[in-house]
Structure 1
Amino acid sequence: MDLNFEDIVLLLHPAIAVTVVFPLIGMVVRLAWQTRARRLEVKADNKSKIPPAVGQEHLQLGRWLTGAVVGIYFLGITFPIFEQIQKEEGFAKAPQQVILIVLFYIATIASLVFLYRAQEKLWRGVFATLTGIGLVVLGFQDGVYRLDKYWFLSHFYYGLVAALLMVFSLAIVRDIYQDRANRWRTTHIVLNCVALLLFVGQGITGTRDLLEIPPSWQKSTIYQCNFDKLSPAYKTCPPLAPSK
């Protein structure tokens, strides 16, 4: 079976998730566990065998993970958005809307870059908020496969919330180290445990979506199927053309 350019682009999202993002998640989780174990041992005045550099390694890989998660989120929504624009001749009918979408992309990416560089709490909050708004607005453009009716099992919604949690974690990094009461650290741990569960859900729902989103050469047949019925016995598709 030959894959065309459209199919290859669509496969980049799961391919990079498997080869880059999920290995990063595993490394960050392991370093987080080691960082916490060392901190508790030091607090109890015990000598820890875990090297002191583990905390900085966790921080660095966590920053990389945020960029990777946001990047793969963009990779997953960008092609469907512009495919829909092309399908509806959006460039000709509503060029101002297309320009606005492009500006949202630029503003969101720029906000994330500035968030990485921001020092003051105010600016970190501003750039994190702008990045989050951009992720939400772009994700709800026409063409994105969201499964709104089944949002609680949606690969898109899991990914959106996970990306927002990563952005928030990046924004509060400095507060974690400055808060002696450990309130921000506790918040960071709880929210990233939620993010970890969402990443597990991403693996499951992403595999399902690979089966539900057809390759380009199957779309003309698959999209004529009746998916309104819940029972598989009532789901119908047009008959296939006889093989030559």
Structure 2
Amino acid sequence: MAIDDIILLLHPALAVAVVFPLIGMVLNRAWLTRTRRLQSAAGGKSKIAPVVGPEHLQLGRWLTGLVTGLSLIGMAHPISSNIINQTLWTKEPFKVAFIGLMFAATIATLVLLYRAKPWYWRAIFATLSSLGIIILGAQDGIFRRDNEWFISHFYYGIAATVLMIISLAIVPEIYRDRSQTWRRIHIALNCFATLLFLGQGLTGTRDLLEIPLSWQKPHIYRCDFEQQTCPDANSQLPLTSPPLV
């Protein structure tokens, strides 16, 4: 495998080795926290240790950062490859500088979101970091499946990342709200995010089968992706690019 192929595998490798196990831990602590709270509200004495609540909060904060970082890593490779292949630093230097600033701004606003206390600053930084993820996702070179957005690994990932950022931003409101409205919103958002993560596991595996290794590209990209046919091995058909949608 070439260096480019190893870098390409960094995103799924981190997802499998770090993010998905952490999702399981967060869900486990969430279930225990809710069970303990319901048992206590019913007047009984729960056998679940009180520490599960703080653990759920801490693991959830880690999960938001890791999911956002993983999204940035997943987008950085195709964006940088497109910049190099198209020599954009000479053709469109402003665009290249803008993309670099967007990566830096997204990371900076996420860090500031972790530190922000007033609700308005949390809302601002959550909005800015989410916009950064969305804008970077709109850049050329990313495998998006725009014509199949409802089964797209890219769109599932963007949606899950934004939901994680929102969940992080509303955490203080959950502890202040006596009506439990923000807690219900938090639960609903993260239940939907869990479904998106499950979808990412399926769509990510599918996309790995469709994105060829670097040495395979000259042969694979001669295929007709719409008709799902490939030329004969001795054919000299011109090289074409695969659809990015």
**Superposition TM-score tier, normalisation by shorter sequence:** over 0.9
Alignment of 1:18-97 (within 5 A): 18-97=16-95
Alignment of 1:149-160 (within 5 A): 149-160=147-158
Alpha-carbon contact 1:73-1:159 (below 8 Å) kept: yes
Separation (CA, whole Å) in 1 of partners of 2:218 and 2:147: 23
Percent of matched pairs sharing the same residue:
57
Separation (CA, whole Å) in 2 of partners of 1:185 and 1:130: 23
Separation (CA, whole Å) in 2 of partners of 1:200 and 1:157: 13
Q: Residues 153-209 of structure 1: CA distance to partner in whole angstroms, max 9, x if unpaired?
A: 100000000000000000000000000000000000011000000000000000001
Alpha-carbon contact 1:73-1:163 (below 8 Å) kept: yes
Q: 2:218 aligns to what?
A: 220
Q: 2:133 aligns to what?
A: 135
Alignment of 1:204-243 (within 5 A): 204-229=202-227, 235-240=228-233
Q: 1:232 aligns to what?
A: none
Separation (CA, whole Å) in 2 of partners of 1:217 and 1:55: 49
Question: How many residues of Structure 1 are paired with residues of Structure 2 in the alignment?
Answer: 235
Q: How much does 1:240 deviate?
A: 2.5
Which amino acid in the other structure matches residue 231 of structure 2?
P
Q: 2:114 aligns to what?
A: 116
Separation (CA, whole Å) in 1 of partners of 2:158 and 2:107: 15
Q: How much does 1:71 deviate?
A: 0.7
Separation (CA, whole Å) in 2 of partners of 1:206 and 1:188: 26
Alignment of 1:153-192 (within 5 A): 153-192=151-190
DSSP 3-state at the match of 2:233:
coil
Q: Residues 18-46 of structure 1: CA distance to partner in whole angstroms, max 9, x if unpaired?
A: 00000000000000000000000110110
DSSP 3-state at the match of 2:229:
coil
Q: How much does 1:228 deviate?
A: 1.4
Separation (CA, whole Å) in 2 of partners of 1:240 and 1:4: 23
Q: With structure 2 as the length reference, what TM-score do the two structures score?
A: 0.94
Say yes or no: does 1:194 pair with 2:187: no
Alpha-carbon contact 1:221-1:238 (below 8 Å) kept: no
Which amino acid in the other structure matches residue 4 of structure 1?
A
Alpha-carbon RMSD: 1.0
Separation (CA, whole Å) in 2 of partners of 1:15 and 1:240: 33
Separation (CA, whole Å) in 1 of partners of 2:65 and 2:53: 19
Which amino acid in the other structure matches residue 240 of structure 1?
A
